[in-house]
Amino acid sequence: MIIVLKRHASETDIATVSDLVCSLRYQPRLIRGVEQTVIACIGDELSNRSLEVLRNLPAVESVFPVQKKFKLVAREYHPADTVVNVGGVLLGGGHIPVIAGPCAIESYDQFRAAVQDLTRCGVRLLRAMPFKPRTSPYDFQGLKLDGVKIMRDIRSEFDVAMVSEVPGPAQIEILRDVCDMFQIGARNAQNYDLLEHIARAGKPVLLKRGMASTVEEWLTAAEYLVVNGCHQVVLCERGLRSFDKATRNLLDLGAVAVARQLSHLPVVVDPSHAAGTRSLVPALARAGLAAGADGLIVEAHPDPVNAYSDASQQLESSTFETFLKDLAPWIELARAQRARDAANL
Ligand code: PEP
Ligand code: MN
């Protein structure tokens, strides 16, 4: 940590601050400038107590942390891209899959029709959502256990891997043997108790960024997963709450590039929840790939107009082939870029 002292700080002030720094198990090193004195404090900021409390002393102007709040997810710690294996489908390190499926499982026929359309054009990783944490308690909450049964039936027919949102610790066991990756939704992005529980469940986790989380908060949430034993983590940018309602959420493409620079974990983009409108989804998908995404997660429904949730943003699953065909050159470019990035590491 770096402590900047006020201009009028006396020798007694400097000694007082230095003593406090020592008592907090850091070694102070004085740097005397022409006008101000700075104390560089040597010690592990992650295991020691923070020195930020010293900001309240009359002689202290500011206190800056030097170390990042995340370590295991940092690229400094692990330079090569992490590759996540989701039921045999690879994601990261140049593997750029498109995950797709309806917002929610609504019935056996609806889910089966979506899976049939999507697998026909090569999708192997499915959104399978029997639980839907919704902002309003009056909105469709998912079929819950009936939806889990539908997942089992579909798995026995199709060769697919499934991603399911876990709204709370109680659903971990229910979903453990039927899905291949757990999703933490934006509303749970900083539910640390859930992150700790899910990390111990032994499955890959797709961690959405909270709708008002900073990149640091997103990466420290991922750190909760890794430090508790889950190394197969995928970050997901899904847009932030903003002043402008032209899109449902503001897709933060800069954060995709920053997250890839700061972390070795793969980053996927969710253009559906960012766009909120069907016609905008292809452009945001392309933009996500151009910004460095390692994959996409896209909503697709056999009859989106009559969907129980997110009807305006889901693509029609029977047209998914065209969507993927238009996207193919962008995926190729992203792959080539990833190979160049890896060669420059
Ligand atoms: C979802 O992916 O089903 C979802 C609810 O998205 P988010 O958590 O990003 O709102
Ligand atoms: Mn949705």
Instruction: State pTM to two decimals.
Output: 0.94
Measured distance CA(300)–CA(103) in Å, rounded: 7
Instruction: Confirm or reject: Cβ of 124 under 6 Å from ligand 1.
Output: no
Same domain, 131 and 256: yes
Instruction: Confirm or reject: Cβ of 209 under 6 Å from ligand 1.
Output: no
pLDDT tens digits, 165-183: 999 999 999 999 999 999 9
Query: Does an H or E element contain 149, and which?
Result: helix 145-157
pLDDT tens digits, 119-153: 999 999 999 999 999 999 999 999 999 999 999 99
Same domain, 186 and 303: yes
Same domain, 56 and 142: no
Same domain, 167 and 218: yes
Same domain, 91 and 222: yes
**Residue 67 pLDDT:** 87
- Pick the residue whose CA is nearest to atom 3 on ligand 1: 103
Reported as a pLDDT band with limits 50, 70 and 90, residue 48 is: confident
Same domain, 55 and 189: no
Reported as a pLDDT band with limits 50, 70 and 90, residue 344 is: confident
* Within-domain flag for 74: no
Measured distance CA(304)–CA(132) in Å, rounded: 17
Same domain, 205 and 311: yes
Ligand 1 mean position to 27 CA, how many Å? 46
Same domain, 242 and 124: yes
> Exposure of 68 by Cβ count < 10 A (0-12 exposed, 13-18 middle, 19+ buried)?
middle
Among all bound ligands, the one having the nearest atom to the CA of 130 is: 1
pLDDT tens digits, 242-261: 999 999 999 999 999 999 99
Query: Does an H or E element contain 90, and which?
Result: strand 89-91
Ligand 1 mean position to 185 CA, how many Å? 5
Count of the separate structural domains present in the chain? 2
- Here the CATH number for the domain that contains residue 58 is 3.30.70.1140
What is the chain's alpha carbon radius of gyration, rounded to the nearest angstrom? 23
Which range of residues forms the domain containing residue 24?
2-64
* Within-domain flag for 69: no
